[in-house]
Amino acid sequence: MFLAAFTSSGPREVSPDATLLSRLLHKDVSAFEQLYDRHSRLVYGLVLRILQQASTSEEVVQDVFLQLWRNAGQYDAARGPFVPWLCTMARNRALDHLRLKSERQRRREDQPDELPSVVVAPEYEKALDEKRLAERVRTLMASLTPQQKKAIELAYFEGLSHSEIAAALKEPLGTVKSWIRNGLLRLKEGLQATT
């Protein structure tokens, strides 16, 4: 299936993803790392929007790329570009995770009430610390320049690469990288000052 992209008649430009996938079929670790670097932010952003939980989203992203490593040959270039295929795989994994979670919850609710109930005191202090940290991050984000804030949001919440951000904002790539780097440094300094 995958090799159809390389055997069609006539000259055709092969995308960087297709080249990397070809190498991945031969278990080339470098190709896998490059694919991960190119697309992990996009996949993470998509999964996070579905699951609404950072740690779980990170696990699902790892599962998606592990599945890619094991089953790169399942990609069929004749059916469409690589990125939508990868996003579909990520979406399906995230939805599977949600279904599994709701199934576990349903089973817990279906258990008979004969089990002794255990009262657990909420961890107020931990919840309060997390709330304070979230408020601090929001305050620090608001203190950034509009350019820094927009570039960071596009990179970390939308999953865009630096090049894609530069194109979207119609700014030079170096400028975008500086905005992100300087903005992240300000956030880090601000968070360290409060601890």
Which three-class secondary structure string do you get for 43-108? HHHHHHHHHCCHHHHHHHHHHHHHHHHHCHHHCCHHHCCHHHHHHHHHHHHHHHHHHHHHHHHHHH
pLDDT band of 145, cuts 50, 70, 90: very high
Using the predicted structure, report yes or no on whether residue 41 has a pLDDT greater than 50. Answer: yes
Q: Which of 76, 107, 138 is the last residue of a domain?
A: 107
Per the domain annotation, does 115 fall within a domain? no
Q: Which of 75, 107, 139 is the last residue of a domain?
A: 107
Q: What is the mean pLDDT of the chain?
A: 81
Specify the residue for token string 């004969």. 114
Do 74 and 147 fall into the same domain?
no
* Whole-prediction pTM: 0.47
Domain count, the chain: 2
Q: How far apart are CA 186 and CA 63, in angstroms?
A: 33
Per the domain annotation, does 9 fall within a domain? yes
Range of the domain at 76: 4-107
Using the predicted structure, report yes or no on whether residue 106 has a pLDDT greater than 80. Answer: no
pLDDT band of 6, cuts 50, 70, 90: very low
Q: Which two tokens stand for residue 106?
A: 């349903």
DSSP type of residue 30: H
Specify the residue for token string 């300000």. 186
Do 103 and 10 fall into the same domain?
yes
What pLDDT does residue 8 have?
A: 42
Do 23 and 86 fall into the same domain?
yes
